Amino acid sequence: MNARNSFLLVVLCSLLTLTTRAQDPHPISGINMLKDSRWPSRPDGRTVIEVSWENPTSSDAQQRAWVRDAITNSWGKVANINFTGWGAATASSEGIRIRIDPTGHPHTKGLGTMLDGKPDGMVLNFDFLGDFKCRISKEDCIKFIAVHEFGHALGLAHEHNRADCLCNEDPQGSDGDFYVTPCDLASVMNYCNPKWSNHGRLSPNDVVGIQVIYGKPGGSAPAVTELKEIRFIPCTMDVTDKANTLRQLMSKSSAIRAASFTMETKPVPTKVADKFSVPVTIRYFADNDEAKANGLKKLLVAEGYDDDAINVENMVAVMGSTIPDYIEVWTKTDPVPTRTKFDEIRLIPCTAADREIVRLVRKVIDATPEYEVKAFSEEKNAVPQRAADRLPAPLTIRFFHPDDEGKAYGMKKLLALYGYPIDDIAVENMVPRMSKVYPSYLEIWHK
């Protein structure tokens, strides 16, 4: 009998009398971005992108108007983006340059700013005379396609290219490197969407995602905190991942600009670590940096950290001299809660044969008084092989918020206690790959 079959037997014997609760599927969604392809914003916060046509004629004026209308009422309506121009391109035209090809397959020659000033950077088809056919009204085809292609022009990759997307479509085009949220089946950028290009309508999380990247309509440019250095200091080795997560969040924020983000690698003496009363302490060393330190705290609270778990500490009185534009972020182990609570645990079996295992995992959690879970959900769709191949272990526990790291490792210990081989369980930190964190949410994958 192999080790995982032993786990099955142990759990079945231990939980024979348990019944399972009704499933509560949780449709979470996302957006896939190539981070360096974002179009820059002006000082007032707006992103202004010029659009021009390489070969417009009077006979396609109506179709061009449909494209402009579709973009103005989708991406241009929900984000702080102004698409301007829309006239004939010249040799010096910048921004998005569109070629109308009656036989071509619609596409872009890159993502986001890769298209800036590139001749024929986007290709659209108004007549569908080649292999690419329109099977609905031409107006709908033109509008649906335009919304999708302009998503690429804003820097968005195909949603189904993501490793965490449960979609069997082959990856196409450039990949993103920045996930705003988990995979979105309803995205206009997802080939696995049962509605072709979501019928040209942005999904709720297309809207959230593009607003994270470009801001909400009419928003102003955020104040930028300027620093020479932010130094991250984990008090113990077991919180190094948490310190790295904080560094990722701050370095990605458009509200913070530091010349360097550094990490302390030497061990911190216990007598020093014991002086910190909360998991995160932000220290500043010049009077003028107090507002900057409190700004960092506000950023972390906005990302879901508990306000009471962060201290801002004035080191000016302690130091013989001041160090301007320098801040330290100290991290230590979170206090262990008396009861571990989750808003949701999502179970993701990679194959039909794995469903038995993930359902037994749920029974283990249900039977443990120290755990309180508001909702369990189970993925029903097949997991693409490429997604399964990227999992680091047969059983992978993914967490999406820094405060849940300890919970994830506690879950690993619990399953090992019930007989699952501990070397076959991995804990995976998803926070550095996301721009938005999800507190009290875990995914448990099995292959």
Looking at the domain assignment, is residue 219 inside a domain? Answer: no
Band the pLDDT of 285: cuts 50, 70, 90. very high
Residue 220 lies in a domain: no
Shared domain check, 268 and 196: no
- 432 found inside a domain: yes
Tell me: the pLDDT tens digits for 126-148? 998 888 888 889 999 999 999 99
Residues 19 and 47 in one domain: no
> Is 284 part of a structural domain of the chain?
yes
Q: Using the 3D structure, point to which of 183, 214, 245 is the last residue of a domain.
A: 214
pLDDT-based confidence at residue 336 (cuts at 50, 70, 90): low
Task: Give the residue numbers spanning the domain of 200.
Answer: 34-214
Whether residue 100 sits in one domain with residue 49: yes
pTM for the whole thing? Answer: 0.53
168 and 63 co-located in one domain: yes
Mean pLDDT of all residues in 309-326 = 88
Three-class DSSP category at 249: helix
Does residue 135 belong to any structural domain of this protein?
Answer: yes
Tally of structural domains, the chain: 3
Distances (CA, A) of 373 to 64, 118, 270, 340, 344: 52, 51, 35, 8, 6
pLDDT band, very low/low/confident/very high, at 15 (cuts 50, 70, 90): very low
Q: What is the mean pLDDT of residues 258-278?
A: 88
Least confident among 105-119, 170-184, 334-348: 170-184
Residue 174 domain-assigned?
yes
Q: Are residues 244 and 102 in the same domain?
A: no
CATH number, domain of 156, equals 3.40.390.10
Question: For the chain, what percent of residues have pLDDT higher than 90?
Answer: 33
Residues 121 and 59 in one domain: yes
Last residue of a domain, one of 271, 301, 331: 331
Same domain, 15 and 44: no
Does one domain contain both 407 and 377? yes
* Span 217-238, average pLDDT: 79
Q: What is the pLDDT of residue 226?
A: 84
Q: What CATH number has the domain bearing residue 323?
A: 3.30.70
What is the predicted pLDDT for the residue at 213?
Answer: 79
User: Does one domain contain both 378 and 422?
Assistant: yes
Least confident range of 48-62, 167-181, 257-271, 300-314: 167-181
* pLDDT reported for residue 170: 57
In the predicted model, is pLDDT for residue 4 greater than 70? no
For the chain, the average pLDDT equals 81
Tokens found for residue 36:
């360096």
The per-residue pLDDT for 177 is 46
Mean pLDDT of 346-359: 90
pLDDT tens digits along 63-85: 999 999 999 999 999 999 999 99
pLDDT in tens, 401-439: 888 888 898 888 888 877 788 888 999 888 777 666 788
> Same domain, yes or no, for 155 and 301?
no
Residue 372's Cβ-count burial label (10 Å; 0-12, 13-18, 19+) is exposed
Query: Based on the domain organization, do 301 and 380 belong to the same domain?
Result: no
Other C-beta atoms lying within 10 Å of the C-beta of residue 74: 23
Distances (CA, A) of 100 to 64, 90, 240: 9, 15, 52
